[in-house]
Each structure stands twice: as C-alpha cells, then as structure tokens.
Chains A and B, each alone.
Chain A
C-alpha cells in the first residue's frame, strides 16, 4: 500500500497538504495518481486524477502535485464540508492499482 499520514487537522480557512509515498514502480513510474474523498457513510468520490487534474464539480480549492515517488493533495481554504477520509491511488508497473491507507481530515 502507499503510505499516507493517518490524520491531519486544521481550522476553517487554513490550508493542509496530505502526502502519499510510493515507489519507483507506482507513483514514480507513471503520472496516474488519483485522490478520493470519502465522507463518513458514503462511497468514495474522485477529486483529483492524473496527478493534477480536477473532475468537473470539484472545487478549485483541491489541487494535486507530485515529486519523485511522493504525491500531494492540498486543500486550501478548508471548510467544514471537507471533513472526510482521503485516499490516494496509483497505477503500477505490474498493471495493478494500489491505494494508500487513507488520511482523516478533521476541521477544528
């Protein structure tokens, strides 16, 4: 699994960055990193694909980036509705997908 920090918390209006660390065989191999938001009791929702792109309907407060084997999700202007679990994922050189363990975002 990709490695994510377990949790992060911040106040409304602040910015947070979640990291997702993989290897040369996944994040470092392709630009096929995606991020998913899962609000409690709901199915996950795609918020970032292709490392940096946003689906339609996703706020531009969400942005993605990558450096080497680590991907990042930044949420700026944090809002109460952003409170959720966030999962990264990557396609791999073995033609499989792998998810991160998830990061719980708490809005104080």
Chain B
C-alpha cells in the first residue's frame, strides 16, 4: 500500500524559509513522479510543483506564483522528497500535501496523497 507522510510544517515569520519533507513507502519511490499541492484554510486545492523521476531527468515544474521562490528535490535512497520554500508570505499559510503522479493510474493524475503538513506564516 502506498503511504506518504509529510513533515516539517511549523509557524514561521514572514520572509522566512522552511523545508518540508515527504517520505514514501509501499512503492518504488525512485520510479515515481512526485508533487506538492497545497490548501489554504477553508480554500481549494492549489498545485505547487512536481519533480520527475531521475529516469526522466529529475526535472521540476512549478506553478507561476512559486517559480524562483520554491524548489523541489528528492533523495531516492531515503525515499524522500523535499520542498524548500523561501521568502514566505502570510498567504503561503496552508496545508501542504505531497502526492504521487500517475504512479498507479494514468499520467498526470494525483493518485496517492499524504495527510498533509501545516505551514503557518505569521509574525
């Protein structure tokens, strides 16, 4: 069974930086494309970005609001993906989910989700 566990969410000051982690188990992590999706309190889902498997180049894509401010990396030996966030703003307050993309089902579908880790940006 695919399991994803996010961690690292805390209270951080505006302008600060934070690194989130997502550890996967129950599947071959190195073969998976991984994503971050966030959800502000009481709001909808917002796609943040993805990292491809190294077999497909390990490259990343980001939604426009996050380009240059957020980065994603992966450490396949530890079955872990990271989201590095810099220049945090109050509006970055959200529950951050990691997902697998097209691993079990079709391309470009988020087929497994973690439970999320809460990031709060406030002074």
Task: Please report A residues at the B interface, Cβ cutoff 8 Å.
Answer: 1, 30, 32, 34, 36, 38, 43-46, 49-50, 53, 55, 85, 87, 89, 91, 95-102
Contacts and interface: CB of A to CB of B under 8 A. Distances in A.
B44 A100 contact: yes
Contact of A36 (B61, B110, B115): B110
- Which one of A55, A87, A97 has the greatest number of beta carbons of chain B within 10 Å? A97
A44 B113 contact: yes
A36 B45 contact: yes
A65 to B, nearest CB: 15
Interface string B34-50: 01010000001111001
B9 to A, nearest CB: 14
A101 B104 CA distance: 25
Interface residues of B, number: 25
Interface in B18-48: 35, 37, 44-47
Nearest to A51: B106
Contact of B44 (A30, A34, A87): A87
B70 interface: no
Contact of B47 (A32, A53, A96): A96
A44 B113 CA distance: 7
Nearest to A30: B108
Interface in B63-105: 63-64, 97, 104-105
B106 A53 contact: yes
Contact of A101 (B37, B44, B50): B44
B111 A55 contact: yes
B44 A99 contact: yes
